[in-house]
Amino acid sequence: MAENRMAILLTINGKDSPGITAALTSTLAEAGAVILDIEQVVIHNILTLSILIEAHKEEKKSLLKDLLYQSKELSVDLDFSLVPEKDVITSRPSTHTCVITCLGEFISTKAISTVTSALYDKEMNIEKIGKLAWGKLSCLEILASASSPISVKDLAGYFLEISHNTGVDIAVQRESLFRKAKRLVVMDMDSTLIQAEVIDELAALVGAGERVKNITERAMSGEIDFSESLRKRVSLLNGLSVDALAEVYDNLPLTQGAESLIKVLKRLGYKTAVISGGFNYFTHKLQERLGLDYAFANQLEIVDGKLTGRISGDIVDAAMKAKLLEDIAAREQISLDQVIAIGDGANDLPMLGKAGLGIAFNAKKSVREAASYSISQKSLDSILYLLGINENELKELG
């Protein structure tokens, strides 16, 4: 900074109205002041505007007099302080920045205090806090930085118990270009895209509902091998009429927010896929209904209009799910960092691990603990908040 120039920090507060920033910056421009930094926020119609300027020392009194007079006309308060040259930041220091997204039916003051205190304990500085959903406080986004490298995985694990104690979902992501540059979303079907386990519904029609449900729960929790469990469950469907597939499909409830999620993703140009350890009769139906780009699942063997109790071809197990995700990304020339994967079972974990953003959605405890991200919201489209999309943008896209 030249010897005849000085840095001044201007702070403006008051009731927001159109033209305040325009008027003040016009005055600064006319005086030949250089804006070094500027930030504005409006909360409940109250404006806070901070401007760091560089101005000629001999023009300081005249400039401040004009600004104070103008602020009075604009009905806002203006304060100022001189900033020593050594404290003027001309470039952003090297920091390690994370985005912490908090989701809940209502985020209490205690929850906010717990999260912000945890960041302080981890020697992280909060740079910005904003809400993404209007009305009651249900979604907060916190930008925090550390002066030394920090493990996102370790930080997410640190917040796991806090999430449990506060009843608020807490997702931690590295702030980078890839966070808002996702291009592919891959979803599980059962208990993710739909609120049912298809094989349980089919088994109920042959009187094997409880037996199959028990095996399903053990498989989703990771207690038994998925492929083995699938063969056991499908064998109990032997003799079931193929007409039962349509009957079950007609009664499948989509997860709340599923249709709006897909609609927004398509508007944003995302590719979408469902990869399921279930059956392709149902994934293809959902693909057609929702306009998904890809659908993969197991093929039930059918002879003379009845299920044989066997699977045709390779089983879509945990490893196959992860491979299919990679295949789709490669086909679409999309980096894995730009992929979102969503699932609820242990057989989804390898798929979630491959994606830049792998989300355990209303999953079993063991899956939540193993996944990098976990949310327990009722609506599937709440995932959009993790991309930094706010409620107004969602309405516009809807």
pLDDT band at 33; cut points 50, 70, 90: very high
Question: 96-174: same fold as 5-87?
Answer: yes
Look at residue 363 and tell me whether its pLDDT is greater than 60: yes
CATH superfamily of 184-397: HAD superfamily/HAD-like (3.40.50.1000)
pLDDT tens string 296-311:
999 999 999 999 999 9
3-state secondary structure the chain: CCCCEEEEEEEEEEECCCCHHHHHHHHHHHCCCEEEEEEEEEECCEEEEEEEEEEEHHHHHHHHHHHHHHHHHCCEEEEEEEECHHHCCCCCCCCEEEEEEEECCCCCHHHHHHHHHHHHHCCCEEEEEEECCCCCCCEEEEEEEECCCCCHHHHHHHHHHHHHHHCCEEEEEECCCCCCCCCEEEECCECCCECCCHHHHHHHCCCCHHHHHHHHHHHHCCCCCHHHHHHHHHHCCCCCECHHHHHHHHCCCECCCHHHHHHHHHHCCCEEEEEEEEEHHHHHHHHHHHCCCEEEEEEEEEECCEEEEEEECCCCCHHHHHHHHHHHHHHCCCCHHHEEEEECCHHHHHHHHHCCEEEEECCCHHHHHHCCEEECCCCHHHHHHHHCCCHHHHHHHC
Mean pLDDT, residues 218-224: 82
Mean pLDDT over residues 258-280, rounded? Answer: 95
CATH code at 96-174: 3.30.70.260
- Would you say residue 22 has pLDDT above 70? yes
Average pLDDT in the 148-163 region? 89
What homologous superfamily does CATH list for 5-87?
A: ACT domain (3.30.70.260)
Say what the pTM is. 0.81
Active site (catalytic) residues:
188, 190
Q: Per-residue pLDDT averaged across 135-146, rounded?
A: 90
**Hey, where are the domains in the chain?**
5-87, 96-174, 184-397
- Condensed to tens digits (0 to 9), the pLDDT of residues 80-91 reads 999 887 777 655
